[in-house]
Structure 1
Amino acid sequence: MKTNRYILIALLTISLVSSCSDDFIEVDNKETLTESSFWQTKDHALQALTATYGALHGADGSKWTFFEEIYVAMAYRADDQINNTAETYGRTLASFSNTTEESGPNNIWKASYSGISRANQIIDKVPNIEALSQEDKDVIVAEAKFLRAYYYFWLVTGFENVPLVTEFEVELDNLFPQQSTPSAIWNQIEMDLTEAETKLLTEHAAEWKGRATKGAAKALLGKVYLFQEKWPQAESKLAEVVAMDYALLDNYADNFNGNSENGPESIFEIQFSGDRSNGNDERQVFNFEIAPAAFGGWELFFPSQWLVDEMRTDVDTDGNPSERVYESIFFDDPNSDMYSMEATAKIPYSDVADNLNNPSYFKKYSFNTDEEFYNGTNIALIRFADVLLMYAEALNENGKTPEAIIEINKVRTRSNAVPLTSLTQSELRDQIRHHERPVELAMEFGIRWFDLYRWQRGSTSKESIKATLEAHNKPFAENFQDKHIVFPIPLQEININDKLKQNTGW
């Protein structure tokens, strides 16, 4: 999945290319792929599938679109981060002063519908490729359904009121759909994932590591049930994942340093190769974005003080911060250290404290991978620790608090954090929401914001996002209004499709 084939993205948007003709001769253009010349072989199907995965990076497949637009839009509003206000990236999103023309949400919209369009083509075309075995057809179509579900998950949690498109359209009159209800989107996601998990492989061959698996479909479906507060279904589905062959890594940091990509704890990751051959630039750039300027970094965003304070309470039996704390943030502690881009060894906090512009920094993905600090580490979207915490949450809401504590302690014990003991259902709910999930999953691809979103939208011990942001001293929390619970529908989409209605308040 790390092969640079994103040139195919353009090819997959082709409907029909007319051949040249005059009164004497009509010759097909052999240099151009058309619907009649594509969709013929297994390679064609796999190229189409690669392009569908490619939308995870953005509609254009660019790392910059992902890191500077999509990630920023999904993460900057949460209480576990503060952005560098001297930088323009996502500044209005972080301060809840964005307009309908903000580029981040627009790029999420474009990436999602690009991925959905490519998935729709696969679902339509691949079953008719005679050169494919039935098993190959089933697996490739199942992966497309998984990806379509994942992209709709981005859309329904981000915008809520979005068009539901399940066919690849070429007729002009059908290219301007109206919005569906959120419940219709959730139903489609559930159907796609339910169908996908029956056909997906449990494991792919080594050359195809990173493609969606049966476990990925089950995990995402469990998460979808969780977001809808379908607690019994969430517990059941997540229990199926827990019973599979996934495992927590012995070393927490190996989730972020490239040592265990697509490994035992990985359920689904965005693939980055770090390939620089032939003009490629397939890296991920978190290491530059989060590192201190004293280390050669850009300092785009930092852990919030609330997160740092909460992490300091996550301790081992000696009262020292747990391993997950030391491997998540760089902070004022005698045992805290971090890689510098100008050195191959980690630098203790105390050595550079006087040269830092901020009191703390994120450390995840900061690892030095070569002499130029060039990083090809994958970005985890779902990992097993997240599944265990979601499973615990479902168990707790189903009145099985002691069983939930057992699952949480699996995650805590891995990092040498003191195990939890007896808690009430309400106490454990608060522990999950405002300690276990943010401490274990801090900074990880928008997880914190969408947790806040679902607890606001849910009915189980409903929590106001604004109240949480204010309680955790999020900068500009006073600007937050109910309209900020979701993104605005991008203005440029409304301008070209008069059937779209703007979200309330925007």
Structure 2
Amino acid sequence: MKSIIKLQVVAILIAILFFSCSDNYLDLKDKQNITESSFWSTRDHALQGIIATYGALQGHDGDKWTFFEETYTSIAYKGDDIDNNKSEGYSKTIANFTNGTEVSGPFNIWASCYAGIGRANQVIEKVPGIATMSDQERKEIIAEAKFLRSYFYFMLVNAFENVPLVLTFEKDLTKLQVPQATPDKVWEQIEKDLLDAEIALPFAYNNDNLGRATKGAAKALLGKVYLFREKWLPAETKFKEIYGQYSLNANYEDNFNGKSENGPESVFEIQFSGDRTLSDERHPFNYEVKPYAVDGWELFYPSDWLVSELKKDKKADGSFSDRVYGTIFFNDPKSEIWDLNQPASLVSYASISSSLSKPNYFKKYAYPTDRSGSYVGININVIRYADVLLMLAESLNENGKTNEAIARINEVRTRSGAVALASGSKTKEELRDWIRNHERPIELSMEWTNRWFDLVRWGRGATAKQSIKSILTAHDKPFSSNYIENKHIRFAIPSREIKVNSQLKQNNGY
């Protein structure tokens, strides 16, 4: 997809043209002669529309800062795997559970998701009328739009819980002033969209279109939705449908260094090309996670609890597993990180230890690969195969197949050299706790939405329900005493949204 992502800026301009609700703006003549009546007439228009929908994954406004410093930090900082830099203002009140209704991060999540939903709705509505496309092309692009719409609603229902369900493209603002749907209705629509999408999506794309949603991506996301809804048997079935169709990268770090983008372990990624020709397809992850001593910004750190869990992940000879070295930069002779000077170079922990302000740092995405100027175009994982294997293991365990679940976990552990779990070594209850509080955070820490959304689903679920506050407290999350159950499990509905839609009701406690 990196080869076609350059169309995104044009597509986003088109999206802005058609998503504006100002009659005066819609009446303006576009300099490229794009009008509401002339668009949606060719295959290129359909591609521009769907690429604009993908573009909302990065953010609603096309700004490279929106994804990381707004949406990423808002969700990541609530988890127990991350400790934010208390000297930095980004999502600070979210991290200490004192945020109100006007924090910018949650608004940007809301705005980005609804921008994507609006664009998807337009694709679903308009593409069937493009006569110059083949029937198969139309079906595939509509399926992509449904996949993306389902993902945006998955984000919203987990982040805010109570959200409007809008399934048609509207220019009339009054028709967008609708009340929230019940969470069950939103989840049902997510399932419906994914069931439709998996039928029509292709198994794979050619090299010019890598990164677009595939049949496997739809099945994986649907399995994840079933998991979140505690539909254990459908979840197991759906994950097994793609079991073996992907493979783990031999090198754990290749999931984060840009060397295996859209590769064998990739199920779905947010695409960043690093290109600045038409738009700025970069992000600042490489700087945000790195120590000051190597030109980083130290926006956040691995929590002490996460580091202690990581250090339990050992090889047979007692040394740390590959995923420990691939996740954190820490006091160990083998630990290295990239210095971001030009040219970049690897430095050892010992060589800069006296200049470090903290003992431990994250290493994921802190690479100079795909670098353009200061920042990088490394893709961001949404779902990778290791996550699928761990979700399959979780569903198997809940279905009473604990030894089979252990075998799937061992596939993930073996890739990094970690000692395999012995068959029969854990009961169903013990393995559930292991998956929740060791295996998933060790493998997936810091990755987009994973830890916080896991805590949310276990906090809302009926199966071995866990209080988020109790987990945060047990894991020494800073400011966990501020956490209020049935309030901080969800974000406030952004106040600026309530001002323009009087039918919205604020979430509990805000």
Which TM-score band applies after superposition, normalised by the shorter structure? over 0.9
* Residues 129-278 of structure 1 aligned to structure 2 (within 5 Å): 129-244=130-245, 246-277=246-277
Alpha-carbon deviation of 1:31?
Answer: 4.2
- Tell me which amino acid in the other structure corresponds to 2:58: H
Alpha-carbon deviation of 1:446?
Answer: 1.8
- State which drifts further: 287-296 or 167-176: 167-176
| Match in the other structure for 2:108 | 107
1:131, 1:382 → 2: CA distance?
Answer: 34
- State which drifts further: 389-398 or 363-372: 363-372
Alpha-carbon deviation of 1:243?
Answer: 3.8
The match for 1:462 among 460, 465, 477 is: 465
The match for 2:480 among 477, 482, 486 is: 477
Q: Deviations over 1:321-369 (max 9, x none)?
A: 1000001100111211111112633211111111101110000111123
Alpha-carbon deviation of 1:249?
Answer: 0.6
- Tell me which amino acid in the other structure corresponds to 2:489: I
Alpha-carbon deviation of 1:19?
Answer: 11
The match for 2:500 among 473, 487, 496 is: 496
Alpha-carbon deviation of 1:390?
Answer: 0.2
| Match in the other structure for 1:318 | 317
Question: How large is the RMSD of aligned CA atoms in angstroms?
Answer: 1.9
Alpha-carbon deviation of 1:372?
Answer: 5.2
Q: Deviations over 1:182-235 (max 9, x none)?
A: 000000000000000000011011111110000000000000000010000110
Q: Deviations over 1:297-337 (max 9, x none)?
A: 00000000000010000000011110000011001112111
Q: Deviations over 1:393-435 (max 9, x none)?
A: 0000000000000000000000000001121101101110011
2:203, 2:175 → 1: CA distance?
Answer: 37
| Match in the other structure for 1:298 | 297
Alpha-carbon deviation of 1:274?
Answer: 1.0
Contact residue 17 and residue 34 of structure 1 kept, 8 A: no
1:403, 1:85 → 2: CA distance?
Answer: 43
1:17, 1:237 → 2: CA distance?
Answer: 44
Contact residue 201 and residue 213 of structure 2 kept, 8 A: yes
Look up the SS of the partner of 2:9 in the other structure.
coil
Contact residue 10 and residue 48 of structure 2 kept, 8 A: no
Is 1:39–2:40 an aligned residue pair?
yes
| Match in the other structure for 1:328 | 327
1:29, 1:321 → 2: CA distance?
Answer: 59
Alpha-carbon deviation of 1:173?
Answer: 2.6
Q: Deviations over 1:96-132 (max 9, x none)?
A: 0100001111000000000000000000000000111
How many residues align? The count is: 499
Gapped regions of structure 2 (runs ≥ 5) = none
Contact residue 6 and residue 50 of structure 1 kept, 8 A: no
Structure 1 residues 399 and 212: alpha-carbon distance in aligned structure 2, compared to 1, 3 A threshold: same
1:471, 1:480 → 2: CA distance?
Answer: 13
Alpha-carbon deviation of 1:490?
Answer: 0.4
* Residues 302-381 of structure 1 aligned to structure 2 (within 5 Å): 302-342=301-341, 344-369=344-369, 374-381=375-382
Alpha-carbon deviation of 1:376?
Answer: 1.4
Contact residue 63 and residue 280 of structure 2 kept, 8 A: no
Contact residue 162 and residue 507 of structure 2 kept, 8 A: yes
Identity %: 56
Look up the SS of the partner of 1:56 in the other structure.
coil
* Residues 412-423 of structure 1 aligned to structure 2 (within 5 Å): 412-421=413-422, 422-423=425-426
Alpha-carbon deviation of 1:165?
Answer: 0.4
Q: Deviations over 1:226-269 (max 9, x none)?
A: 0010000110001112142x000100011111111000000000
